[in-house]
């Protein structure tokens, strides 16, 4: 055995591309000899002292190799009798590893499954998120460069110093109680939401809230109402969870609430009443009342997505639908993605008391939430007035940017290019593009010219789509607006002829 190992050790040393300890080389040679059957099961290995002197290495080197192979299950040691090659016949899954330093042979071609599930395939057929998430005029983005990063970092560091170890553990149901308290107070004051802190559930973005609600409040095959046009993210999550999506048309008063057709009563209805996404109208009071009445009568939940209502540039804030009446059948959803920045991935729901415990338990079970330290910092950020101050400051900035973009559109193209439902709010503007322009073609050309806009037609479910473009203005400083707008305009010129 000594000769065999001596020979293999020499080969391994020669093949090694970099210096390896002898103990590891010996270990690899022994392992190889065991796995390729050169040393069959039950073979007794020489005593460590003898092998060490045969190979001209230290006894410790051999001891290391034997110990390592015993730990791997290749050897068994019997006290007083020595070390024996283990019977590996049952371990058919063990492949012979290449000798240390030897070139790795190409793997046997194995056909790994490359398909995804049918619902995965369907999702991939509808993907709408872009692979670039920053730049003029990508819609839906706040100006993340204006976020008071230093102040937030200081607050986070203080929370980390003062807070208990549990801040770094998994979240318990609902999220951090201090943020639940701060948000309840904020939502009552600013959004007229009727809620107690315990009703608040912190989520990883609106996306997680929609996912959780659609899984917990509906079954596969159930129907959900969405607005048409509406947010594709919501539609995709619903469909991924097996729901059928009934798209309800939107006009200048928001969702055109209808009496559900027989057999098509929804379990959930998703609306953006304060600022319809993406067209911008405010849902009229009569429509709000009709929706709540239908929800009560047919027993479905309305999910109010209040994604960017903090940014209205004229008039009074629009009160929430949830707060319209006591015990409204509404689940309110809000997010820090637009007020602070989307990478925070922090949003919240206000759940009716009867659902709090069960949906909270499901959230813990499904996602094992965390980020309690960030939640504690957010609570402090809100309580100390920084949140409200940041929103006030950004409202001014965004209002000016919006005004400049409106000016650019009207001066360069004409006021008829502003969508008639456009309200003086939010983070994006909708441009109605006239025939013969196709919004998808314009968006593609613009992208090639380094300008990011989204085609309105992609937000529609129904085939009777409108052509338009969504232009995000919030993250584009006034002095940086003319150039990309000029490029967008130049992309359209040849297409208009
Ligand atoms: C209407 C609407 N709801 C929700 C979201 C996403 O929110 P979050 O970032 O919290 O998942 C968006 C993103 O643009 C949106 O437009």
pLDDT in tens, 417-458: 999 998 899 999 999 999 999 999 999 999 999 999 999 999
| pLDDT score recorded for residue 495 | 83
Pick the closest to residue 62 from 73, 81, 75 (CA basis): 75
Q: In tens digits, what is the pLDDT along the chain, a chain of 497 residues?
A: 888 888 888 888 888 878 889 999 999 999 999 988 899 999 999 999 999 999 999 999 999 999 999 999 999 988 888 999 998 876 655 555 656 656 666 777 888 888 999 999 999 999 989 889 999 999 999 999 999 999 999 999 999 999 999 999 999 989 999 999 999 999 999 999 999 999 999 999 999 999 999 999 999 999 999 999 999 999 999 999 999 999 999 999 999 999 999 999 999 999 999 999 999 999 999 999 999 999 999 999 999 999 999 999 999 999 999 999 999 999 999 999 999 999 999 999 999 999 999 999 999 999 999 999 999 999 999 999 999 999 999 999 999 999 999 999 999 999 999 999 988 999 999 999 999 999 999 999 999 999 999 999 999 999 878 999 999 999 999 999 999 999 999 999 888 77
Ligand 1 geometric centre to CA of 310 (Å): 14
Residue 379 is assigned to a structural domain of this protein: yes
Ligand 1 geometric centre to CA of 427 (Å): 12
What residue owns the CA closest to ligand 1's atom 14?
Answer: 140
Residue 118 is assigned to a structural domain of this protein: no
Question: In terms of domains, do 218 and 365 share one?
Answer: yes
What residue owns the CA closest to ligand 1's atom 13?
Answer: 140
pLDDT in tens, 149-163: 999 999 999 999 999
Question: In terms of domains, do 162 and 288 share one?
Answer: yes
Question: In terms of domains, do 333 and 399 share one?
Answer: no
Question: In terms of domains, do 361 and 393 share one?
Answer: no
Task: Report the atom number in ligand 1 closest to the C-alpha of 140.
Answer: 14
Task: Evaluate: CB of 341 within 6 angstroms of ligand 1.
Answer: no
What is the number of structural domains in the chain? 3
Question: In terms of domains, do 321 and 194 share one?
Answer: yes
Question: In terms of domains, do 398 and 299 share one?
Answer: no
Ligand 1 geometric centre to CA of 121 (Å): 23
Task: Evaluate: CB of 305 within 6 angstroms of ligand 1.
Answer: yes
Ligand 1 geometric centre to CA of 170 (Å): 24
Question: In terms of domains, do 59 and 162 share one?
Answer: no
Give the end of a domain, one of 334, 369, 384: 384
**Residue 50 belongs to domain with CATH number:** 1.10.10.10
Rounded-to-integer distance, Cα 206 and Cα 253, Å = 24
| pLDDT score recorded for residue 480 | 96
Owning domain of residue 405 = 389-496
Question: In terms of domains, do 355 and 305 share one?
Answer: yes
Residue 56 is assigned to a structural domain of this protein: yes
Beta bridge partners of 200: 350
Give the end of a domain, one of 35, 55, 85: 85
Question: In terms of domains, do 299 and 331 share one?
Answer: yes
Q: Are 171 and 345 in contact (CB under 8 A)?
A: no
Give the end of a domain, one of 358, 384, 410: 384
Residue 136 is assigned to a structural domain of this protein: no
Cα 474 from chain centroid?
22
Q: Are 364 and 171 in contact (CB under 8 A)?
A: yes
Ligand 1 geometric centre to CA of 95 (Å): 49
Question: In terms of domains, do 224 and 364 share one?
Answer: yes
Residue 111 is assigned to a structural domain of this protein: no
Question: In terms of domains, do 305 and 214 share one?
Answer: yes
Task: Evaluate: CB of 231 within 6 angstroms of ligand 1.
Answer: yes
Question: In terms of domains, do 337 and 288 share one?
Answer: yes
**Residue 345 belongs to domain with CATH number:** 3.40.640.10
Residue 148 is assigned to a structural domain of this protein: no
Q: Out of 270, 335, 346, give the residue to mutate to test ligand 1, the one with the largest number of ligand atoms within 8 Å of its CB.
A: 335
Residue 294 is assigned to a structural domain of this protein: yes
Dump the DSSP string for 44-79: BPPPHHHHHHHHTS-HHHHHHHHHHHHHHTSEEEET
Q: Is the dihedral of CA 360, 362, 364, 367 positive or negative?
A: negative
């Amino acid at each position: 055995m000594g000769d065999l190992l001596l020979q293999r050790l020499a080969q391994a040393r020669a093949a090694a591309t970099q210096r390896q300890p002898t103990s590891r080389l010996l270990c690899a040679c022994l392992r190889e000899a065991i796995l390729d059957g050169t040393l069959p099961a039950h073979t007794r290995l020489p005593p460590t002292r003898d092998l060490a002197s045969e190979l001209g290495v230290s006894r410790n080197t051999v001891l290391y190799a034997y110990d390592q192979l015993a730990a791997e299950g290749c050897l068994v040691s019997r006290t007083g009798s020595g070390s024996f090659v283990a019977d590996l016949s049952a371990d058919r899954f063990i492949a012979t590893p290449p000798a240390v330093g030897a070139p790795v042979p190409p793997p046997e071609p194995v056909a790994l499954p490359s398909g995804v599930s049918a619902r995965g395939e369907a999702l991939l057929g509808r993907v709408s998120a872009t692979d670039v998430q920053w730049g003029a005029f990508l819609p839906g983005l706040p100006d993340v460069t204006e976020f008071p990063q230093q102040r937030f970092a200081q607050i986070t560091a203080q929370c980390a110093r003062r807070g208990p170890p549990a801040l770094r553990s998994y979240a318990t149901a609902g999220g951090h109680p201090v943020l639940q308290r701060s948000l309840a107070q904020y939502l009552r004051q600013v959004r007229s939401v009727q809620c107690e802190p315990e009703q608040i559930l912190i989520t990883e973005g609106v996306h997680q809230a929609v996912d959780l609600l659609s899984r917990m409040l509906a079954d596969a095959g159930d129907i959900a109402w969405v607005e048409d046009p509406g947010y594709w993210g919501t539609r995709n999550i619903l469909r991924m969870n097996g729901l059928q999506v009934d798209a309800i048309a939107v006009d200048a008063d928001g969702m055109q609430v209808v009496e559900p057709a027989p057999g098509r009563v929804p379990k959930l209805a998703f609306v953006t009443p304060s600022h319809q996404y993406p067209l911008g109208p405010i849902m009229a009071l009569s429509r709000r009342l009709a929706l709540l009445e239908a929800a009560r009568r047919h027993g479905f939940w309305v999910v109010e997505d209040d994604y960017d209502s903090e940014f209205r540039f004229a008039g009074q804030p629009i009160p929430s639908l949830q707060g319209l009446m006591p015990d409204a059948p509404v689940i309110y959803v809000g997010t820090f993605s637009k007020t602070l920045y989307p990478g925070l991935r922090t949003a919240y729901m206000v759940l009716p008391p009867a659902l709090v415990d069960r949906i909270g338990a499901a959230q813990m079970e499904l996602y094992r939430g965390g980020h309690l330290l960030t939640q504690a910092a957010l609570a402090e950020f809100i309580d100390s007035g920084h949140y409200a101050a940041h929103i006030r400051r950004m409202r001014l900035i965004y209002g000016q940017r919006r005004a400049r973009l409106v000016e650019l559109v009207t001066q360069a193209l004409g006021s008829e290019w502003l969508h008639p439902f456009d309200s003086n709010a939010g983070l994006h503007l909708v441009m109605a593009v006239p025939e013969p322009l196709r919004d998808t073609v314009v968006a593609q050309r613009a992208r090639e010219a380094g300008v990011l806009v989204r085609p309105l037609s992609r937000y529609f479910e129904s085939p009777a789509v409108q052509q338009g473009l969504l232009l995000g203005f919030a993250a584009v400083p006034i002095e940086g607006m003319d150039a990309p707008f000029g490029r967008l305009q130049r992309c359209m010129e040849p297409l208009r002829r």
